Amino acid sequence: MKIGEKIKRLRIKNSLTQEELANRCELSKGFISQIERDLTSPSIATLVDILQCLGTNLKDFFNEPTDEAIVFGKDDIFVKQDFELNHEIKWLVPNSTKNLMEPIIITLEAGGRSEIDNPHEGEEFGYVFSGSIYIHLGNTKRRVKKDESFYFKPTMIHHISNAGKTKANVLWVSTPPSF
């Protein structure tokens, strides 16, 4: 990080000249110029004074925003097959367990089902791309067909199962992450 460039951007953002900033900080215009060109480095105390005059502090100044990924492709997908439950899960967003929601695509073979999930806070949403499924909520079972969706609050034991003889593909989004 080039401190001088960042100070200059903040100064310009605050519509201040080098002279105005120098006067507010009780420094010389030449010293501000040298800092902005990274020819010299201010002491911590002087940097704190400059940042205060620019409306910020050390923590915010050095806290660089990270570029968060927004678009994810095939290489980002993590796949797990469960031969016992006869399904495959594709995690669409890497590290989604750190997020508020967790989108997956679950493919259920004929006779396949998801793991049984206990009641939890949050919400569940799904969209059936192909095939048909049953949603099991406690002791009730509801069928969801191709091009239909489901939404529920997971206040009871729940899971999905394949309702047909062909594969079922479901986009399933859970909050908080639970897969």
88's CB contacts (< 8 A; 6+ apart) are 79, 80, 81, 82, 106, 107
pLDDT at 96 over 80: no
pLDDT for 99-138, tens place per residue?
Answer: 889 999 999 999 999 999 999 999 999 999 999 999 999 9
pLDDT at 91 over 80: yes
Q: What is the pLDDT of residues 63-83, one digit of tens each?
A: 876 677 889 999 999 999 999
In the chain, where the domains are located: 3-62, 74-175
Percent of the chain exceeding pLDDT 90 equals 86
Would you state the pLDDT for residue 66?
65
Tell me: the pLDDT tens digits for 5-16?
999 999 999 999
How far apart, in whole angstroms, are the C-alpha atoms of residue 48 and residue 60? 11
**What would the two tokens of residue 53 be?**
């005059």
Top CATH class of 3-62 equals: mainly alpha
Q: Is the pLDDT of residue 31 over 70?
A: yes
Residue 32's pLDDT is what? 96
- Secondary structure (DSSP) of 36-75: HTTSS---HHHHHHHHHHTT--HHHHH-PPP-------GG
Residue 14 corresponds to which tokens in the numbers above?
Answer: 């605050």
Give mean pLDDT, residues 142-170.
97
Distance CA 168, CA 86 (A): 11
DSSP state of 113: B
Q: What are the counts of helices (DSSP H) followed by strands (DSSP E) for the chain? A: 5, 9
- Give the contacts of 11 (CB within 8 A, at least 6 positions apart): 17, 18, 21, 32, 36, 54
- CATH class for domain 74-175? mainly beta
Residue 32 and residue 52: Cα distance in Å, rounded? 14
